[in-house]
Structure 1
Amino acid sequence: MDIEQHVRLWNQASIKILDIRHHVMRTGEQVKGYRLPASGFLYTARGSAQVALDGKFYEVNKLQVLHGGKGIGLDISGVEDCFEYYMIYYRASLPLPSSRELQALLEQQLPFHIQYAFVPHYPIVLYNYVTSLNQMWRQADALSKFQVKTLFYQFVHELLRQLDAQGIPTMKPNMVAQAIRYLNERYAEPIMVDGLAELLDCSAGHLSRRFKKETGSSLIEYLTRIRIHKARELLLHTDASLQAVAESVGIPDAMYFNRIFKKYVGISPGRFKTSYVHLPSDQYNATGRSESSIVRRTFRRYIHNGDNHYQYKQKGDSRIPMKPKQSITLLLMLSLTLLLSACSGTSNTTAASGNGNGSNAAQQTNSGQATQQPSTQEKVIQHAWGETVIKGEPQNIISLFPAATDYLLALGIVPQAASSNEEGSDQFPTYLADRLQGQKNLGWQVEPNFESILALEPDLIIGQDFMGESFASLNKIAPTLFAEKVKDEQGIIRMKTSLLKLGDMLGRTEQAKQVIADYEKLAAEGKEKIKQAIGDDTVMFLRLSDKEVRYYSKRNYEVLYDDLGLQAPASIPDPADSMQVISLEKLPSIDPDHIFLLSSDPAETTEMQKTEVWKSLKAVQNNHVYLVDYGLWFQGPGGPIGQTKIIEETVQFLTQ
C-alpha cells in the first residue's frame, strides 16, 4: 500500500458513517457467510476467535483491527468463552467534480475496499476512539452525530499512522473470487448481475468483463453450470421430484429447467435420472467436460483458484467453440450448407426495405423474408475486423445485441432471431418487443453462443462492435457485420453517424437518410415545445443505485442534451466519462429543476423518496421528477428507435 496516495484519497473523499454496532458472541456461536453491506472496520475488544475475510483466516485476539470492503464475506468461529467486537460501517466517494487522475488513482489503490488485519502497537488510543464512537452514535441529537464524524476521522488518522509505521501488508479484494464464492453459496437464490455488482460495489459491466477474463465464462453461464451440476447430484442421490429439484437449485420454472438441463447435459432430467441412477459420477458426464469442484461436496472455507474454470479462450484460435456432443452434428450441418452453396453458386438472400423506395431492396414481409428472387451479386465489405463477403441479399438475418436490432428495425429489416434484453432473460427489449412478435429469441448473446447461432443457419449475422474477438468464429458460420456506436472527437455516441455506417454496409443508405430526416424533424419540433414549456430550466438524467445516483452525460444521452437542447445544471461540468457517481447528499448542492429517474428496484426508490435530502430538492417539491422505463431509457440511447421514443416521452413529461 502506498500510504501517501492512500491518505490523499482519504483526504479527498466524502465520508458518511452508516452504522456502528457492538457485538458479544458466546462459546460455540458463529457468523457464517455474512457479507459486509458497506466498507467497514472490525475492532476486537476482548476474547479470541477465528475471523475470515473472504476465506482468508486470521487468529484474532483482543485489541486488533481488521478492514474489508463492501460485499466481502465475513466468517467468525472458534469462540472460546466470549468474543466482543465493534463494527464501524462507512461509505466513501469522491465528490464531483474530481479529476480523471484522482479517479484513476481511486481505482488503482482501492483504499476503501482493501482488506487487512493487524495488532496495533498503541491499541488503547484506537480503543478509546472506537468506544467513544459507539457512545456518540447512540445519541439522537445532531451535535453527537457531527462528533461521530470528527471522531471517525481521528480514528482513521491514528490507524493509518500506525499501519504505516508497522509496515502492515494489505490485500486488494479479488471481486471474481468473491463472486464465485457467492454463486457457490447462493446458487439456489435469484441472482442478477446488477445485484451482485452492487453488492461488490462495482459496475455490472466491469464485473462481467473481469469474470469472463479470469474464468473464461460469463457469470450467468457459470451460475447455470453450478445449478445444473447440483441438480444432477440431487437427481442421482435423492428421490425428490423434478419440480422440487428445479426449485432447490434456483430454477423454479419446471419447463425452463427441463430445457436448460437438456441443453447442458444432452438429455432431459427425467431420462437422466432413470438412465444414470446406478452409475458412478465419473460415468455420467454428458457434456464431456471435466467438472472438478463445480459445487463443493464438502464445506470448505477457502476457494481454490484452479476450480470452476470451464472454458479457456486462446487468442488466435479461429475454431468455433462447441460442446463435444453436439459438434459433429452441427459441423456436418455447416459442411452440408457450404457444399450446397458451392454447388449452386448462389446463397439464400434477403434485404428488407422500410419504405419500399430503395431501388435495389426487396419488399419485406413480417417474417423478414424477401418476396423477390435472390440475387447472385457479391459484395465485399472491408471493416475494422477484416473482410465480409455477402452474396446476394440475405434472407435469414439474426441480431446479437439490442442496439444492433434497433438499427436493423429502423432500416426496415426484421431479423429472424434477435438477442434478449439482458443476461438470464428470454424477453426482447421492452421498446422493441412489439416489432419482434413471432421472431425467435436468442437469449443474451454478449458472449455469442455459437451452437445456437449455427443451428439457425443464418445468411447474415449482425453483432455489436464490442464483439470483435468473436468475428472470426462468427464469420465461419455466416457473413458477419458489426453495428458500431460511432463516437465523435468528444467521445459522444452519434446515432445518426452510426446508422448511416451500417446502412451503407447493408445497401440501405437511402433508408438510413430518411430515418435521420424524420428523426431530426421530430427532435426539432420537440425541442421547440420543451423550450416553450420550461424555458432555461435545468434537467438531469439519474440512475439510482445503492443509495447513490449516477449522472449520465451527453456522451451516452445526446438525445437529451444535444438533440433536445436540455440544459444540465451549471454546477455539473460535462464529466470525462459517460457516467459519474454522485452521493445522495450532494444532490441539494446541484438541485436541478427536473429529474429523469431510472431505477430497477422500486423498494430502493421508495426508500430514497422518504429521505429528507430527497424531499428538499426543488424538482421533488415541484413534482418534476419523472420515473422512466428501465428497458427504454437504459438500452434505447444510441439507437434510432430508442431515441425516437425517448424524445416522445421527454416531450410528454416536460410539457404536460
Structure 2
Amino acid sequence: MNVDDHIFLWNQASVRLHDLRHIVMRAGEQLRSYQLPASAFLFSVRGSGLIRFDGNVHAIKNCYMAHAGKGTYVDIEEIKDELEYYLILYKAHLPLPCRQELLRLLEKTQPFHIQYGFTPMHQVNVFVAISRMKQAWNQNGNLDKLRAKALLYQLVCELMAQMQSQGIGVTVPNLVVQAVRYIEEHYAENFTLDDLSSLLNCSSRSLQRTFKAQLAVGPIDYLIQVRIQKAQELLRQTNLGLKEIAESVGYTDSYYFSRSFKKYTGFSPSMYKENPLTSEMRRQSPSLLSRYSIAGQKLWKYNDHIENENHSHSRDGGAVPMYKSTKAMLALNLMLSLTLLLGACSGGGTNTSNSGSSATGASNQVTTQSNTTQSGANQEVKKSETRTIKHMKGELTLDFKPVRIAVLDTQYADQMIALGELPAGSVITTGDGTKFPEYLMDKLKDVHVLGTKDEPNSEAVVAMEPDLIICTEFQDKIYDNLSKIAPTIMFDRNEDWRDTLITFGKILEKEQEAEQIVKDYQEKTSKLKAELATKLKGESVALIRPRDNAIRLHTVEHRTAAILYTDLGLTPPKPAMDKSDTATMISLEVLPEVNADHLFVVTDKANQALTDEYKNSSIWKGLKAAKENKVYEVNTTVWIAYYGPIAINNIVDEIAEALL
C-alpha cells in the first residue's frame, strides 16, 4: 500500500463522523453478519477473539486497530474473556468538481473502503485520541461535534504515520463476495439492483459489470436462482403450503411463483413435491428445523446489536447451510427429474404443441401451429410467409408473425411503435426515474416492464410468455438462457436505426412501411440540412453529457452525434472529429478548448445536479456558447436511449428549433 496516496486523498476528502460506540462483548458471545452502514475503524482495548471482514480473519488481542468500508460484513467470534472495543463510523467523499487524476487515484486506492488490521506501535496515542473523541461525541453541542470530527482527523494522522512506519498491508474488498452474501441472506426480501449497490457504496453499473465478470450472471438473475433453489429445498423437506413457500422465498403472489418455478425447473411446484421420490429425498434429509431457517441467516442491522454501551446481546438467527449432495441424493434427484419428465410427456388426453427453438445452433427453425392463441395475448399467431432473419448469433427462420415480443433494449419499442405495433414487454431507462419517456407513455402504459437494459428481469420475461425475444450484445452472457424461454434474436445495439427498422419490417411483415419511414426521414433531413448550412455558415456544434464527475464529448462516430454531423451536415469541433471512439471524456477545465459555437447538453435526473454545478462555474460561464446563449439542454432518454425513428425525428425537430 502506498500510504502517501492515502494521506493525499484524506487531505482532499470531505469527512463526516457518523457514529461512535463503545461496546463490550462477554466470553462466548458472537456477532454474526453485521453489515457496516458506513466506513469504520474498530479498535479493541482489551480481550481477544477473531474478527472477520467478508471472511478475511483478523486475530484480536488487546490493542488492535482494524478498518473496513461500507457494506462489509463483520463477524466476531471465539471471545475468551470480555472483548471491549470502539466502533468509529464515518463517511468520506471527494468534493465535486475535482480533477480527473484525483478520481482515478480514489478508484485505484479506495482509502475509505480498504480492509486492514494491525497492532499499533504507539497504542497510548491511539487510545487517547479515541477516548477524547468519544467524550466529545457524547456531548450535544455543535462545538463538541466539531471537536470530535477534529479528533477523527487526529486519529487518522496517527494511524497513517504508524502504518507508514510499520509497512501495513491492505485488502481491497470484493464487491461480488459482499453482494452474494447479501443476496443469499436476503433472498426473501424485496430489493433492487440500486438498493444493493447503495448498500455496497458503489454504482449499479460497476456492480453489474463486476458481478457478471466473475459469475457470468447479473445480481438479479443470481437472486432468482437462489430463490428457486430455496423453494426446491422447502418443497422437498417440509409440508408448508404453496403460499407459505412462495412468501418465504420472496414472492408475494403464489400464482406468479408457480409460473416462475415451472419456467426455471420444467416442473410445477405441486408436480415437483408430490412425486413419490420426494418422500425418499425427505428421508435422506434430517429434521428441517435443525438444518434450515426459512428466513435465512439474520443480517444484523446497525441498531440491532449496538443498543447498549456496555453489552451487545448475542442474536444468532441461524445459518442457512449449504447442503452437499451424497451419491444417493444425486441419484434420487436424477430419478425424480426423469420420472417427472416422463410423466409430463405421457399425458394421454393432453393436447401439446411445439413452438420449438434451438438456443445454441447457428440457425433456429421456429414453427407455430396455425390459429394457436398465445396465453395472455388478444391476437392470434398465424402462419405466414417464411422469412429468414440474420442476426449476431446466426439466423432465425420465421413462418409466423410474432405478437408477444419482448424487447430488451429501449430503442426497439420506438421501432415497433413507428411501424404501428407494440411490444408485449420492454426494458426501461432509469435516468428520469419514470417507466417510459413522455413521448411514448400513452402507447406503452400497459406494456410489461422487464427491468433495465443492464439488468433485465428474467422472471418478468418468463411471466409474459413471449413468442419472440429481441436483445443486443449487452445480453450476450444470458443469450442461451433467453433462448430457452423463446426464440431470441440479437441485434447490434449501435447498428444504424434505419437498417434495424428494415429488419423489424421483415419480422413484423411491414417492410413497405419501414422503407417509407426511411424515405420520409431522408427527405426531411435533406431539406433541413440546406437550411442549416445557410443559417450557420460553418459554426461548430458539440454534443456533450456531464457524467461521472467529468464531461463526455460525443464524437462523429456516436450514433446520435451522427444525426448532427452526417444527417444534417453540421460542423463538429476539432476534438469531436476523433474516429477512434464514440466519445471522449474531458474535464470541465478542458471544455473551453472544445470551443464550440453551439452546445447541446444531454441531461436527466441522474446528472442534473452535476450539470447545474458545471453551469454555475466561472469556466462554463466563460464559454463562447454560454455567453451567446447558445447552450441547449436536451433529454437523455430521447437523445441517447430511444434510438428509433420517432425519437430521431423528435431530435431533428429539437435541433431545427434551437438552431434556426
- Which TM-score applies when normalising by structure 2? 0.61
Question: Aligned letter for 1:23?
Answer: H
Tell me which amino acid in the other structure corresponds to 2:216. Answer: G
Q: 1:511 aligns with which of 517, 524, 529?
A: 517
- Judge conservation of contact 1:388–1:481 (CA < 8 Å) in 2: no
C-alpha distance in 1 between matches for 2:477 and 2:21: 51
Q: How does 1:220-239 map to 2 (within 5 A)?
A: 220-239=220-239
Aligned partner of residue 71 in structure 1, secondary structure: coil
Return closer, same or farther for 1:214/1:31 CA change in 2, 3 Å cut-off. Answer: same
1:390/1:265 CA distance change after superposition, 3 Å:
closer
Q: Does 1:463 align with 2:463?
A: no
- 2:152 aligned counterpart, secondary structure: helix
Deviations 1:14-71 (A, max 9, x none): 2221323122224155433221112121122333333221122322133211111110
Q: Deviations over 1:491-545 (max 9, x none)?
A: xxxxxxx5345336556354146469889999xxxxxxxxxxxxxxxxx9999xx
Matched, 1:249 2:249: yes
- Give me the identity figure in percent: 27
Provide the residue aligned with 2:443 in structure 1.
435
C-alpha spacing 1:520/1:161, structure 2 compared with 1 (3 Å): farther
How far apart are residue 89 of structure 1 and its match? 1.5
CA contact (8 A) 2:358 2:487 kept: no
Per the TM alignment, residue 451 of structure 1 is displaced from its structure 2 partner at its CA by: 14
1:83 aligns to what? 84
> Structure 1's 144 and 588: CA in aligned 2 closer, same or farther, altered over 3 A?
farther
The answer for the alignment partner of 2:576 in structure 1 is none
Gaps of at least 5 residues in structure 1 are 285-294, 308-322, 349-364, 487-497, 523-539, 544-548, 564-569, 594-627, 650-656
Instruction: Please tell me the residue identity of whatever aligns with 1:226.
Output: V
2:488 and 2:238 mapped to 1: Cα distance?
A: 48
Could you tell me how far apart the structure 2 residues matched to 1:405 and 1:92 are? Answer: 39
Q: Is the 1:401–1:463 contact (alpha carbons within 8 Å) kept by the matching residues of 2?
A: yes
Please tell me whether the aligned partners of residues 188 and 247 of structure 2 are also in contact (alpha carbons under 8 angstroms). yes
Shift in alpha-carbon separation, 1:174–1:154, aligned structure 2, 3 A: same
> Is contact 1:235-1:273 (8 Å) kept?
yes
- Superposed CA deviations along residues 266-296 of structure 1, whole A, max 9, x for unmatched, are 3322333332541216999xxxxxxxxxx89
Provide the residue aligned with 2:581 in structure 1: none
Q: How does 1:5-84 map to 2 (within 5 A)?
A: 5-11=5-11, 13-27=12-26, 29-77=29-77, 78=79, 80-84=81-85
Aligned counterpart, 2:110: 110
Distance change in 2, residues 1:123/1:633 (3 Å): farther
Q: 1:617 is matched with which residue?
A: none
Deviation at 1:180, TM superposition (A): 1.0
- Contact kept in structure 2, 1:418 and 1:442, CA below 8 Å: yes
Relative distance call for 1:22 and 1:107 in structure 2 (3 A) is: same
Partner of 1:95: 96
Tell me which of 485, 491, 510 is aligned to 1:482. Answer: 491
How far apart, CA to CA, are the structure 2 residues paired with 1:448 and 1:131?
50
Counterpart of 1:409 in structure 2 is: 416
Kept in 1, the 8 Å contact 2:54–2:178? The answer is yes
Give matches, 1:499-538, under 5 Å: 499-503=497-501, 508=514, 510-512=516-518, 514=520
Are the counterparts in 2 of residues 461 and 478 from structure 1 also a CA contact under 8 Å? yes
Q: How big is each residue's C-alpha offset from its partner over 1:137-164, in whole Å with a ceiling of 9 and x where there is no partner?
A: 3455555444444433332232122223
Determine the C-alpha separation between the residues in 1 that align with 2:399 and 2:273.
49
The 2-side partners of 1:394 and 1:113 are apart by 53
Code of the residue aligned with 1:113 in structure 2: it is H
Contact 1:39 1:69 in 2 (8 A): yes
Give the CA deviation at 1:439.
Answer: 6.7
- Matched with 2:657 is none
Is the 1:550–1:580 contact (alpha carbons within 8 Å) kept by the matching residues of 2? no
3-state SS of the aligned residue for 2:275? helix
8 Å CA contact 1:398–1:416 kept in 2: the answer is: yes
Give the distance between the partners of 1:336 and 1:186, measured in 2 at CA: 35
SS of aligned partner of 2:240 = coil
Higher relative contact order (CA 8 A, sep 6+): 2
> Deviation at 1:636?
5.1
**Cα offset for 1:76?**
2.6
Q: 2:635 and 2:55 mapped to 1: Cα distance?
A: 40
Residue 417 of structure 2 corresponds to residue 418 of structure 1: no
Matched, 1:154 2:154: yes
Q: TM-score, normalised by structure 1?
A: 0.62
Task: After TM superposition, give the deviation of residue 419 of structure 1 in Å.
Answer: 3.4
Query: How far, CA to CA, are the matches of 2:266 and 2:233 in structure 1?
Result: 16
User: Structure 1 residues 266 and 192 mapped into 2: Cα distance closer, same or farther (>3 Å)?
Assistant: same
State the match for 2:191 in structure 1.
191
Query: Per-residue deviation at 1:254?
Result: 1.5
Asked if 2 retains the 8 angstrom alpha-carbon contact of 1:404 and 1:464, the reply is no
Separation of aligned partners in 1, 2:71 and 2:648:
36
AA aligned opposite 1:124: V
Other structure's SS at 2:70 match: coil
Q: Aligned letter for 2:177? A: A
Aligned-residue RMSD, C-alpha: 6.1
8 Å CA contact 1:64–1:120 kept in 2: the answer is yes
* Matched residue SS, 2:121: coil
The verdict on how the C-alpha distance between 1:405 and 1:434 changes in structure 2, with shifts beyond 3 A counting, is farther
Could you tell me how far apart the structure 2 residues matched to 1:96 and 1:394 are? 52
- Partner of residue 313, structure 2: none
Q: Is the 8 A contact 1:388 1:475 kept in 2?
A: no
Query: Which of structures 1 and 2 has the bigger CA Rg?
Result: 2
Instruction: Tell me what 2:582 maps to.
Output: none
For 2:51 and 2:354, the matched residues in 1 are separated by 56
Segment drifting more, 198-207 vs 226-235: 226-235
**CA distance 1:462–1:231, change in 2 (3 Å):** closer
Deviation readout 1:417-453 (Å, 9 max, x if unpaired): 4334489xxx974755643577777677757979979
Distance in 2 separating the partners of 1:32 and 1:393: 56
CA distance in 2, matches of 1:46, 1:213: 42
**Distance verdict in 2 for CA 1:472–1:331, change over 3 Å:** farther
- Identify the range of structure 1 (136-145 vs 149-158) with the bigger mean alpha-carbon deviation: 136-145
Aligned letter for 1:14?
A
Alpha-carbon distance between aligned partners in 1 of 2:480 and 2:240, rounded to the nearest angstrom: 45
After superposition, the C-alpha distances for 1:550-591 in whole angstroms (9 at most, x for unaligned) are: 8986769989xx99xxxxxx9787699999999999999768
Partner of 2:308: none
Q: Secondary structure at the match of 1:419?
A: strand
Equivalents in 2 of 1:479, 1:96: separation in Å? 44
SS of aligned partner of 1:202: coil
Tell me the residue number matched to 1:134: 134
Counterpart code for 1:190: N
Give the match for residue 580 of structure 2. none
1:400 equivalent among 388, 407, 432: 407
Structure 1 residues 16 and 237: CA distance shift in structure 2, 3 A = same
Between the aligned partners of 1:376 and 1:587, the Cα distance in structure 2 is 51
The CA distance in 2 between the partners of 1:46 and 1:407, in whole Å, is 65
Corresponding residue of 1:353: none
1:484 is matched by which residue type in structure 2?
Answer: R
Conservation of the 8 A alpha-carbon contact between 2:48 and 2:60: yes
Quick one: structure 1 residues 142 and 211, their matched pair in 2 at CA, closer, same or farther if it must change by over 3 Å? same
How far apart, CA to CA, are the structure 1 residues paired with 2:492 and 2:588? 35
Alignment match, 2:210: 210
Secondary structure at the residue paired with 1:278?
helix
Q: Is the 8 A contact 2:546 2:610 kept in 1?
A: no
Q: Which moved more, 1:268-277 or 1:413-422?
A: 413-422
Tell me the number of residue pairs that the alignment of Structure 1 and Structure 2 aligns. 532
Q: 1:469 to 1:448 in 2, by over 3 A?
A: farther
**Structure 1: how far apart are the matches of 2:108 and 2:167?**
19
**Letter of the aligned partner of 2:411 in structure 1?**
A
Give the corresponding residue for 2:121: 121
Deviates more, 1:226-235 or 1:137-146: 137-146
Once the two structures are superposed, residues 94-133 of structure 1 have per-residue CA deviations (whole angstroms, 9 ceiling, x without a partner) of 632322x443333222222111111011111222222233
Letter in 2 for 1:502: T
Shift of residue 468, structure 1, vs aligned partner: 5.2
